[in-house]
Structure formats: structure tokens, C-alpha cells
């Protein structure tokens, strides 16, 4: 996967900063992110996965959708109902880890032109957004593993081999 930072790259653990300039450079970054995400068959890609500490991620939760970007996202509401499912991550190689996520969320943020946007999401789309927003806070999927045993197994898998 070209240019996607891999764990344990320290940039993946850093907190991102809000985007303030909604300019051609930001839109070019989003186009690059779409390309990298699609080349890797990903459904989401956050800026820190490219080494950039900016609050932006790209996503495409269905093959029928065009890729899109969310800038400065905030989860405004999440359901009490949760669901456990396995998650992969372009920064964690072939690892899949069981993660509990809210089934429904409301996310606000901006589009690539700085216009406010809001999404009410359920199911897989809600999971993708939560995963990508975690990246923007330096949180990785195995940090949210359903139990210590799963987390330990993930870290063991990711440990460099001699």
C-alpha cells in the first residue's frame, strides 16, 4: 500500500488539528487520499495514515457511492446500542480485531469547501466513521478491542518478527 503509514509509526498515535484552510491544497489532498484508499480496497483513510496531522478522512462505504471526505468531524451523538464486529485497518496489515461500536451515530463537520455537513449513520457506515474519527485522535482499532485477550493477541501479531 503506497504511502500508508504502518503501526508502530508514532504519527498514528498523535492527535490531529482542525483544518482551517478549505482551499485547493485540501481538495488535492482529498483526491490523493481517495486514490490511495481505492488502490488498497479500503473503505476509509484518515490523514494521519499518510503522516499528516489534520482532521480529515475520506470514505466510501459502498461500491455504489462516490468517495467523499469529512473535515473536522465530531460525533455529536451515539446510540447506547452497540454491536461487535471484526475491523481491519490499512495501517495494521492483515490484522482484524473484534471491536464494539455504537450502532447509530450523528456526525457533524465540514465538506471540502468548508460548508457544514451532518450525517445520521447506522450499521457499517457508523462503524467506518467511528474507526476513522478514532484515527484522528491517535486511537487504533486494537485499542478498542473487546477484551484484554484480544488486545494482547493483536499486539502480539503486530510485534516485529526477528
**Which residues are known catalytic residues?**
132
CB 152 within 8 A of CB 95: no
20 cis-preceded (ω within 30 degrees of 0): no
8 in Cβ contact with 45 (< 8 Å): no
Distance, in Å, from the CA atom of 28 to the CA atom of 26, rounded to the nearest integer, reads 5
Q: Are 17 and 54 in contact (CB under 8 A)?
A: yes
DSSP one-letter code for 46: E
Question: How far, in Å, CA of 22 to CA of 129, rounded?
Answer: 21
Amino acid at each position: 500500500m503506497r504511502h500508508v503509514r504502518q503501526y508502530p509509526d508514532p504519527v498514528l498515535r498523535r492527535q490531529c488539528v482542525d483544518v482551517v484552510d478549505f482551499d485547493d491544497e485540501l481538495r488535492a489532498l482529498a483526491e490523493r487520499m481517495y486514490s490511495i484508499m481505492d488502490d488498497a480496497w479500503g473503505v476509509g483513510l484518515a490523514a494521519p495514515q499518510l503522516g499528516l496531522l489534520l482532521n480529515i478522512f475520506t470514505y466510501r462505504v459502498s461500491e455504489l457511492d462516490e468517495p467523499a471526505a469529512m473535515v473536522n468531524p465530531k460525533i455529536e451523538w451515539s446510540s447506547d446500542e452497540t454491536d461487535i464486529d471484526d475491523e481491519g485497518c490499512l495501517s495494521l496489515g492483515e490484522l482484524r480485531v473484534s471491536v464494539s461500536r455504537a450502532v447509530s451515530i450523528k456526525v457533524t463537520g465540514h465538506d471540502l469547501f468548508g460548508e457544514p455537513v451532518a450525517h445520521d449513520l447506522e450499521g457499517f457506515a457508523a462503524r467506518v466513521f467511528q474507526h476513522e474519527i478514532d484515527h484522528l485522535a491517535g486511537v487504533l482499532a486494537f485499542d478498542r478491542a473487546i477484551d484484554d485477550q484480544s488486545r494482547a493477541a493483536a499486539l502480539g501479531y503486530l510485534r516485529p518478527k526477528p
